[in-house]
Amino acid sequence: MKKTSTRLADGRELIYYDSRDDAVRSAQDQRPLPHSETLSELRHDPVLDEWVVIAAHRQGRIYHPPADECPLCPSRDGRLSEIPESDYEVVVFENRFPSLAAHPHPEQVSAAPPHAIRPAAGRCEVVCFTPEHDASFADLSPRQVGTVLEAWTDRTAELSTLPDVEQVFCFENRGVEIGVTLEHSHGQIYAYPFVTPRTERMIAAAVAHRVRTGRNLFEDQLEAERRSGERIVVAGEHWTAFVPFAAHWPYEVHVYPNRRVADLLALDEAERTEFAHLYLDLLQRFDLLFTADEAVDGVNSTPKASSRTPYIAAWHQAPVRRGADRAQGADELALHMELFTIRRTVGKLKFLAGSESGMDVFINDVAPENAARRLREVKA
């Protein structure tokens, strides 16, 4: 893989990732962009003991532009975008409207106890998976997925070295129902200056499981699912994709490497190769899931980009500092991806209403075993 780093007109870093060593990336950003300014700050919620990012400057970010003004398409035919080249494989660049920034706004307001405030140090990046505006991740080839995986891994390694960063989170939001503001296929990477609340809860559960059983929680989870087989969707030599026993979402799949590792950097070549094939299989099943339902309901079942299943794909990795540098329990966390959709059936979404939003108690409308069976049944 060839990596080429350059700068956009306002100073933000942009990185090309190419599978070919002879790729030349020399185009310069010709836009008259002012230097970007980030006004984010972290405020501590003392009741829940967690940090909240206040990023009021993001109200002005680009919102559903027409296709011919998409900032994630290559710069072509006189139209300039965030990507100066006329073509690319995978591109990563600093978000123009970041929630976290390496150099947050210097004017920080002090707060009196019990309140606390600090700079929103960190980094937010955009990952463009393909130059094709109407393509989706599921349309990529295994080779292209391999390049994306290399980019995720490289960014995890580099962002982990930043002094303020405690956790690196690679994820993709797809679909207007999820809340994406740009339709071009892309993901994001957040480098947080703290360990996220969800990860802290996972670590606490894993530590308690170790004390109780002497074993690793994630290894036991995977072993139980593979032994049962009832909720497995796709399984390979190196990876297993299954609907969790207590799934929160109507269609939720967790993707685990069969060998427990802490983060993307620890995957070997065989695991990387198989992931590309297994993940594409899984995404294609997600897209066919509701198309099959539409056909049963007598609705036109011709797949369209606008009707693709909305989803969130989230990589869970161990915090940057583990062992002696952090709580010992961070070593218990295992790399895995969680893929889920908020769609529960044709034309109906799973909204986070009173119980979910008010009390964090999820109520799932689809039995996990039925969800796994449906995902096994649909195949391109």
Pick the CATH number of 2-24+38-194 from 3.40.50.720, 3.30.428.10, 3.50.50.60, 3.40.50.12780: 3.30.428.10
The answer to whether residue 182 scores a pLDDT higher than 90 is: yes
| pLDDT of the residue at 379 | 81
115-129: pLDDT as tens digits: 999 989 999 999 999
What is the chain's Cα-based Rg?
21
Q: Would you say residue 2 has pLDDT above 50? A: yes
Give the residue from 97, 71, 96 showing the smallest Cα distance to 84.
71
In the predicted model, is pLDDT for residue 47 greater than 50? yes
CATH topology of domain 198-377: HIT family, subunit A (3.30.428)
* CA distances (Å), origin 85, targets 67, 152, 258: 18, 21, 39
Q: What is the pLDDT of residue 301?
A: 45
Active-site residue, from 44, 105, 115, 186: 186
* Mean pLDDT across 217-240: 98
- Do 198-377 and 2-24+38-194 have the same topology in CATH? yes
- Mean of pLDDT values over 172-200: 96
Residue 278, pLDDT score: 98
Reduced to 3 DSSP states, what percent helix, strand and coil does the chain have, rounded to the nearest 5?
30, 25, 45
Q: What is the pLDDT of residues 296-352, one digit of tens each?
A: 444 444 444 446 899 999 999 999 986 555 556 889 999 999 999 999 999 999 999
Between residues 133 and 303, the one the model is more confident about: 133
Domain ranges of the chain: 2-24+38-194, 198-377
* Residue 186 bears catalytic tag: yes
Across 23-35, average pLDDT: 94
Which has the higher per-residue pLDDT, 36 or 185? 185
